[in-house]
Structure 1
Amino acid sequence: MTEAAVSIRRAREEDLPQLIALFEQDDLGGHGDTSHEDAFNDYIRAFHIIDQSLNEHIYVAELNGDVVASFQLAFLRTLRGRGGLTGIIEAVHTRHDLRRQGIGMKLLDFAVAEAKRRECRLVQITHRADREEIRSFYEKAGFSADYIGFRKHLK
């Protein structure tokens, strides 16, 4: 099984071309990700900011030396909940040809374990409302859809 051969680690700058290609495959996300050389400095800048943060990390899943999946994990301390820490899983992506092979579940298990290690009181994840198959996947992973989120684009 592919899942067993996958290893998860913190992303490195040299992973950026493979990460960008992974994001670029997401035609439904609409995030404007592109491997065009004019955009590369934007990714480099963002990567360094995230990589230097104590509360944000990008992880990759590697298979046979290739980056095949990724996610970002951020930690938010709130005053509400007696100063509790929340883990926020963001930007979960698995390469199209490797979906439904257990890699995404392995990513989520890793993220939840890391949130527990950091003593988070909860971990949350969001997805687009029109992606019903993703909702089923997250529910299978033990997440519940008990909140409705809103967002406002600023750019």
Structure 2
Amino acid sequence: MTVETDILIRQARREDLSALVAIFAADAVGGHGDTTDPEALADYARAFAAIEASPDQTLYVAECDGEVVGTFQTMVTTTLTGRGSSAMIIEAVQTRADRRGQGIGAAMIEFAIAEAKGRGIGRAALTSNAIRKDAHRFYERLGFKPSHLGFKMALK
């Protein structure tokens, strides 16, 4: 395993969109129907614009040697529970398949946690597909604890 030392985590830009879509489309486990078909680009561009316009969401990329090699998104949510506590939700964490095992995923999660702490947010949470056992071990190594059971419902 090679540990990557020059990982730049930065906010995603529109010109990163093709690289991001390629990372998601290459994920056979996710089952999100992502595709590099040029006809789908408008859907991704609309989603990117919505994320970019939201004060509570940020899309990031991990870059090594000028290449996008990973991504994740953060969302801040505030609830009345916990006396009005806020949480940073970390979602869509992906490292390009050919770059896994190089410390990129850990760098992305550590960056997200530092961002949350810097904003005074007291909790970070994420979800992971139930069949991604390696990812679960990875998140536990980083200090996350399984605590809730998630449910989803397809609406279309």
TM-score > 0.5, shorter chain as reference: yes
Q: Partner letter of residue 107 of structure 1?
A: M
Q: TM-score, normalised by structure 1?
A: 0.97
2:20 is matched with which residue? Answer: 19
What is the CA deviation profile of residues 73-110 of structure 1, one whole-angstrom value per residue up to 9, with x for unaligned ones?
00001111111111000000001011011110000000
Q: Partner letter of residue 63 of structure 1?
A: C
Q: How many residues align?
A: 155
Deviation of the 1:2 alpha carbon: 4.7
Tell me if the contact between 1:3 and 1:106 (Cα under 8 Å) persists in the aligned partners.
no
Q: Partner letter of residue 111 of structure 1?
A: A
Q: Partner letter of residue 34 of structure 1?
A: T
Deviation of the 1:62 alpha carbon: 0.5
2:64 pairs with 1:63: yes
Give the aligned CA root-mean-square deviation in angstroms. Answer: 0.9
Structure 1: unaligned runs, 5 residues or longer: none
Give, in whole Å, the separation in 2 of the partners of 1:3 and 1:78: 37
Deviation of the 1:118 alpha carbon: 1.6
Q: TM-score, normalised by structure 2?
A: 0.96
Deviation of the 1:137 alpha carbon: 0.3
Give, in whole Å, the separation in 1 of the partners of 2:65 and 2:31: 29
Q: Partner letter of residue 140 of structure 2?
A: E
Structure 2: unaligned runs, 5 residues or longer: none
2:113 is matched with which residue? Answer: 112
Give, in whole Å, the separation in 1 of the partners of 2:101 and 2:84: 37
Which 4+ residue blocks in structure 1 deviate beyond 4 angstroms? none
Identity of aligned residues (%): 46
